[in-house]
Structure 1
């Protein structure tokens, strides 16, 4: 595998985890009373801000210093920050259980590996 393919595979796994986490977050949020929706959305945004600020700093540093590899870092940093933010948002909605986390990780690996395999065929 080339280095670009490895970066793409890692980013795919992060995107998959973030997507599955977002689906669970929306499902759990929909079960709560409507008065809790806005505060929990703002908490999720608050969890996403540090990752996006880091992304902005990396982009600006790459542009300022002329690093050509900053695009590769962004390709992994954005979905990783999104995955961490959604994970933290999920922790605000529920009690963490090993069974739920393990199921989401296994589903991430299954879907992510399928997508990676499918891309390698094309």
Structure 2
């Protein structure tokens, strides 16, 4: 088993978790006042900005240099950074209870399993 086959499901899980947390975060953002929206956006950028920018840099470096295999590390950095930033933002907004997190994790696992099964990677 190669490291790629082990890291692909992790990247898909992190992406699904970030998408689910992003929906909840956006729902909370729309309900807030304008000043609070700006603060929530800045906090998200502060927390998830560096890993997302690093992932984009890895992706750009791989495209410019012709290096193979940079897509997976870039996907891990971007999805992980977004997931972390959104998780911390939800915890700060008071929406990070263990029940909501457990539901998000279970839904992300289900989405990961379904995506890998449909793509043919889960054998």
CA deviation profile, 1:64-118 (whole Å, cap 9, x unmatched): xx97544432232221111111111222222531111111111111111111111
Residue 5 of structure 1, CA deviation: 3.7
- Structure 1 segments of 4 or more deviating over 6 A? 59-63
5+ unaligned residues in a row in structure 2: which ranges? none
Farther-moved stretch of structure 1 (30-39 vs 106-115): 30-39
Q: Does 1:82 align with 2:82?
A: yes
Distance 1:29 1:67, change over 3 A: same
5+ unaligned residues in a row in structure 1: which ranges? none
Alignment correspondent of 1:25: 25
Residue 49 of structure 1, CA deviation: 2.1
Residue 6 of structure 1, CA deviation: 3.1
Distance 1:111 1:69 in 2: 24
CA deviation profile, 1:8-38 (whole Å, cap 9, x unmatched): 2221111100000000000111222233111
Answer whether contact 2:15 2:80 (CA < 8 A) is retained. Answer: yes
How many residue pairs end up in the alignment?
A: 121
Q: Which has the higher contact order (CA 8 A, sep 6+)?
A: 1
Answer whether contact 1:58 1:70 (CA < 8 A) is retained. Answer: yes
Distance 1:69 1:118, change over 3 A: closer
Taking structure 1 as the reference length, the TM-score comes to: 0.77
Alignment correspondent of 1:49: 49
Alignment correspondent of 1:73: 73
Distance 1:19 1:60 in 2: 23
Taking structure 2 as the reference length, the TM-score comes to: 0.77
